[in-house]
Amino acid sequence: MTETERDRREVEEQVRRQGRLPPNQAVTVKFPVLHYGPIPVFNPETWNFRVWGEVIENRDWSWEEFNQFPRTSLKMDIHCVTGWSMFDTIWEGVSVADLINEGFIQIKPTAQYVLQHAEHGYATNLPLETVLANNFILATHFNGQILTPEHGFPLRGVIGSIIGQPDLKQSYFWKGAKWLRGLEFLKEDKLGFWENAGYHNRGDVWKEERYG
């Protein structure tokens, strides 16, 4: 057995004992890269972040403006639908709840769902309640480093699990869009890319909602 495999099994035993390993997930210590299509090129001059739909006013912010938003960080466990999990990952970026509380985004009372829109048409949907919960973040950094291009630089949505907060809705990792460019607030739910391709709409990791 290699040293990496020994480390991996050790983490797996520990999180299993702690009740943090969802059914049929295995620990990975390397961060796999998974996506459909090419890695987009980031241009800070033309990049913007948009909000539209069930909002009082459609808005967009440049990369420079986005970087003025209040920042926060989160420690979460992430679970990919293909079966790997990573524990105690640290994400830094912007909370949608903070943007709303501080008036940057004004949503209408009719807003119930959020569709994350990424480069090249990728999208993924979540209930508004989940986007505002403390296990969802618009991340610019992972474990203290700027996101790498393959993991979503400059911005990605991230959803995960937090130990001791079983009431949170904890979905698989596909429900965070890499290369995120905007949020569409919706009255009615609209499916994203993988959800349209047969993945489960909620994707609860504890109920193993992998496929619809």
Ligand X SMILES: Nc1nc2c(c(=O)[nH]1)N[C@H]1C(S)=C(S)[C@@H](COP(=O)(O)O)O[C@H]1N2
What would the x/- binding string for ligand X be over residues 100 to 119, using CB under 6 A?
Answer: ------------------x-
> How many residues are there in the chain?
212
Handedness of CA 19, 144, 83, 198 (dihedral sign): positive
Q: Is 177 in the site for ligand X (CB under 6 A)?
A: yes
| Residues 179-198 within binding reach of ligand X (CB under 6 A) | 179, 194
Q: Is 83 in the site for ligand X (CB under 6 A)?
A: no
CB of 167 to Mo ion, least distance (A): 25
Distance CA 86, CA 15 (A): 10
**Count of C-beta atoms within a 10 Å radius of residue 196:** 13
- DSSP class of 132: T
Q: Which of 84, 113, 174, 185 binds Mo ion (CB under 5 A)?
A: 174
CB of 76 to ligand X, least distance (A): 13
CB of 106 to ligand X, least distance (A): 26
**Which residue type, as a one-letter code, is found at position 210?**
R
Query: Is residue 149 reached through a cis peptide bond, with omega within 30 degrees of 0 on the bond before it?
Result: no
Q: Is 90 in the site for ligand X (CB under 6 A)?
A: no
Strand 136-142 and strand 72-79: the pairing is: unpaired
Handedness of CA 85, 159, 212, 178 (dihedral sign): negative
35 binds, among Mo ion, ligand X, none (CB under 5 to 8 A by kind): ligand X
Q: Is 210 in the site for ligand X (CB under 6 A)?
A: no
CB of 200 to Mo ion, least distance (A): 12
Cβ-based nearer residue to Mo ion, 174 or 185 = 174
Residue 201 makes CB contacts below 8 A (sequence gap 6+) with 125, 189, 191, 195, 212
Q: Is 35 in the site for ligand X (CB under 6 A)?
A: yes
Applying CB under 5 A, what is the total number of residues that bind Mo ion? 4
Interface segment toward ligand X; rule CB under 6 A; list 41-49, 64-72, 177-185, 204-212: 177-185
State whether residue 101 is helix, strand or coil. helix
Residue 65 in tokens: 């403006």
Cβ-based nearer residue to ligand X, 179 or 185 = 179
| Residues 15-34 within binding reach of ligand X (CB under 6 A) | 31-34
Contact footprint for ligand X (CB under 6 A): 31-36, 80, 118, 122, 151, 173-174, 176-179, 194
